[in-house]
Structures are given as structure tokens and as C-alpha cells.
Copies of this chain bind each other. A is one copy, B any other.
Amino acid sequence: MAPSVPVSPLAPKNVPTLPALDGLRLATAAAGIRYAGRTDVLMALFDAGTTAAGVFTKSKCPSAPVEWCREKLKGAAPRALVVNSGNANAFTGKTGRQACKFTAEIAAKAVGCKPSDIFLASTGVIGEPLPAEKFNGVMDQLVSDARADGWLEAAQAIMTTDTFPKVATATAKLGNTKVTINGFAKGAGMIAPDMATMLAYVFTDAPIGAAALQALLKEAVGSTFNAVTIDGDTSTSDTLMAFATGAAAKRGAPRIVRASDPRLTAFRKAFHDVLANLAEQVARDGEGARKLVEIKVEGATSDASARRIAMSIANSPLVKTAFAGEDANWGRVVMAVGKAGEPADRDKLSIWFGGIRVAHKGARDPGYDEAAVSAVMKKPEITLKVALGLGKGRDRVLTCDLTKEYVAINGDYRS
């Protein structure tokens, strides 16, 4: 089973209570896939008329549920989402595809819909056959248990090495109607960009068409989930999906069909905030993490170049261990800038830790104050800024430090 570790010191102090969301009900159950004494299956039930959008791992070896969701997304009329923890159903070949089909079939029977209306995800160990027959005993119960609250329980049911459940909520005016956006996510390791990181789900009662929802999701993922890295390792199962029940239409919310609709302004911001909040929580729960590190790069030749440099820094084991050691080792930052393969000129480079400039124009800052920098490094949240002095490209990513606990968690996980 998952190792018992204390809650990350970076966990949010206040966990919001998510309000009910019209058109959607939730339930969880313990199917005994892998863990004992905890829930491991989540079902979200959607009223007819709900739309769906999704972005998935770019892995060339995606899990069976990722393939299932990709196939079913076009023209989808989603009625339920079923997610299990404990087993990723990844690299399970034909058996894996059969497990997806079987799960969707028994879920559809319990819900009263078609198997293709069921969306699936699995997270946990890779390569072990998923014992989907264990879902047999819980599907009817999930459908009958489903209720409008229970968001925290939903987030808990899909945790693996997470140390805290990740939920977020926001409201926005759509037309003159208040609509709600709720979301939850899981993920603590095997987190890297170039995909929708691990499992995250966002739900709204706003009446937004599938194409517009997909566009909103794609637009928001770049600066949120794709801007987080724990270890540079891209999962085979990464899934970010959005579901819009449209129930707010009854309360007068306008139906939206295009992402460019000007009435989306407030919704777009709230939607982005929920995604950004969840993505940050993933970084805060990085396996073994003791420091949340924000990496800002500016003055690059383009935004894309700034992103690649920021990721080179964020994924460098030497930079990450320096943060773990509370060592403002900007030499390693220079190294990571240098290895990114992007335009950089040592003699124009400046580096700040927590607002204190430590390096300037290719050398140590003349006013370098070790004590002040040491004080910054002891904080649980640190911003590292790199100015390249070449252009106007800028970006920002979130990561965490690399500690002995990361190694302990991942050296012992499967055994």
C-alpha cells in the first residue's frame, strides 16, 4: 500500500468547502483494488445535456483509460466519470482495454446509459492487470449513494502518494447568473509538463458547449498544469477533464457555444483560477517536498524559450537538491540555464533569490549578502528569478525541492 507519510508542510492552511453544483452528484466507495481501509473509487454522475472536454498525456505509451477517453470525447454525451486509485491500468495491453470496456459496461448498466457515455481514469501502479471485476460490487451502490456534496471525499478517493486532497472552487457571473466552478486533482510524483498533469477534474454548471469548453481548457492548461514539474517524469495516465452540466441555464445563464464569446470574460478568469489553484496544490504536494519554488524567467528571446529555460532549472536535480539544502547555489542555476540549449549570454545574466539579486552581468553581485540570502532560503516558499537580458520573452513555472524523502518514497513505493 501507499506509504504512510505526514501531510506536506506546504499544504494549504484553509481547505474550502465546495458548494453543490446543479446537474452533478458524487459518490465514493472502497472496492479494494489495492489499498485497505480507504475509498478507492469515485463516481461523478452528470445530468443529460452535460458537455465534456479533456487534455491528456503526450506519452507515447498512454494508459488504457486515456485511450478510452480520447476515443469517447468526440460527440460525447457524458453521464458518468469513474476513477479508481491503486492501479493505473497502464501497460496492461489487451487486458487493459478489456478492463476499461468491462468497467464502462457495468457502470453504464448501473447508471442507465451507454458505455460510451462513461469516462474513465485509473491511477496507481503501472503494469499490473486491473482487477475490474472488483467494481462489480460497488457500481449500484455508487449510483444510489450519489449526492450533491462530498467533494472532499471525492478528492480523497483518488489519492495515491498525495498527502492531502486537492480541491478548489470559484464563482463567476455568466450573463447575470452566478455560475460555479469546482475542481479537484491528484498528483504528487511523475509530474512534468507537456500534458495535463496527473488527474484533475473541473466541473461547472455553466451551459458551455463542448467545443468552447475544450478551447477554454486548452487555453488554461499552458500556464497552470503544464507549468508545474515535480520530477520531470511524464505519467502515462495524465488527464485533465472539464464537465459542464449546463444546469445554470435554468437560472438564466446564457448558452455559450464559442470560447471567444465576450460574455465569458469573468468565467474564463475564474476557470483559470481554479486550474491554477489545483496545479499549485500539486506542486505543494510534490513527493517529499519541503519548499515550493516559483521560477520566473524574463528577458528571453521568446516566451517559449523562457519556458524551456525555466523547466531546465526546475528539473535540474542539482538545483532542486540545493533548495532542499537551503543553499542559494546560483552557480547551479547558471549551469541549468547553460544546459537548456536556448540563447543565453553569461555576461548579461542576473539571478535573484526571493528578491535579492545574487548574480549580475556574469558574476557574483558586488553587494552579495550571504546572511540575507540564507534567510530567504529558509522560507517554505521561494521565488527564483532569472533575467537573461536578451529580449522580452518571459514565463514562470512551479516546482519543489528534491529531498531524501522523495528518494525514500520512490525507492519503496512498489515493494
Q: Are B325 and A415 in contact (CB under 8 A)?
A: yes
Q: Which of A198-206, A262-270, A338-346, A392-400 contacts B (4 or more CB under 8 A)?
A: A338-346
Q: Are A59 and B331 in contact (CB under 8 A)?
A: no
A389 to chain B, nearest CB (A): 13
The residue among A57, A93, A128, A359 with the most chain B CB atoms within 10 A of its own CB is A93
Q: Are A334 and B408 in contact (CB under 8 A)?
A: no
Evaluate whether A61 and B95 lie within 8 angstroms (CB atoms) in the complex, with A404-B404, A411-B324, A414-B329 already known: no
In the assembled complex, the Cα of A233 lies from the Cα of B410 at a distance in Å of 21
Copies of the protein in its oligomer: 2
Q: Which of A24-32, A174-182, A313-321 contacts B (4 or more CB under 8 A)?
A: A313-321
Contact of A406 among B93, B232, B321 (CB under 8 A): B321
A226 to chain B, nearest CB (A): 14
Evaluate whether A322 and B414 lie within 8 angstroms (CB atoms) in the complex, with A192-B339, A334-B61 already known: yes
In the assembled complex, the Cα of A406 lies from the Cα of B326 at a distance in Å of 16
In the assembled complex, the Cα of A318 lies from the Cα of B412 at a distance in Å of 11
Q: Are A93 and B363 in contact (CB under 8 A)?
A: yes
Evaluate whether A359 and B91 lie within 8 angstroms (CB atoms) in the complex, with A127-B364, A335-B234 already known: yes
User: Quick one: closest B residue to A232, CB to CB?
Assistant: B317
Interface string of A161-176 (1 = CB under 8 A from B): 0000000000000000
In the assembled complex, the Cα of A326 lies from the Cα of B410 at a distance in Å of 11
A265 to chain B, nearest CB (A): 36
The residue among A60, A125, A236, A359 with the most chain B CB atoms within 10 A of its own CB is A60
- Which residues does chain B contribute within 8 Å of A233, judged by CB atoms? 316-318, 332, 335-336, 339
Residue A140 at the B interface, CB < 8 A? no
- Which residues does chain B contribute within 8 Å of A128, judged by CB atoms? 331, 364
- Which residues does chain B contribute within 8 Å of A316, judged by CB atoms? 231-233
- Which residues does chain B contribute within 8 Å of A324, judged by CB atoms? 407, 411
- Which residues does chain B contribute within 8 Å of A322, judged by CB atoms? 410-411, 414
- Which residues does chain B contribute within 8 Å of A346, judged by CB atoms? 60-62, 91, 93
Q: Are A60 and B331 in contact (CB under 8 A)?
A: no
User: Quick one: closest B residue to A309, CB to CB?
Assistant: B60
Q: Are B336 and A60 in contact (CB under 8 A)?
A: no
In the assembled complex, the Cα of A386 lies from the Cα of B315 at a distance in Å of 24
Residue A403 at the B interface, CB < 8 A? yes
A sample of 11 cross-chain residue pairs with beta-carbon separation below 8 angstroms, ordered by A number, consists of A59-B339, A60-B342, A60-B345, A61-B346, A91-B346, A92-B363, A93-B346, A232-B317, A233-B316, A234-B339, A404-B407
Excluding A317-B406, A321-B407, A324-B407, 12 further A-B contacts by CB distance (< 8 Å) are A59-B339, A60-B341, A88-B331, A91-B330, A91-B362, A91-B363, A93-B363, A126-B334, A127-B330, A234-B335, A317-B317, A327-B415
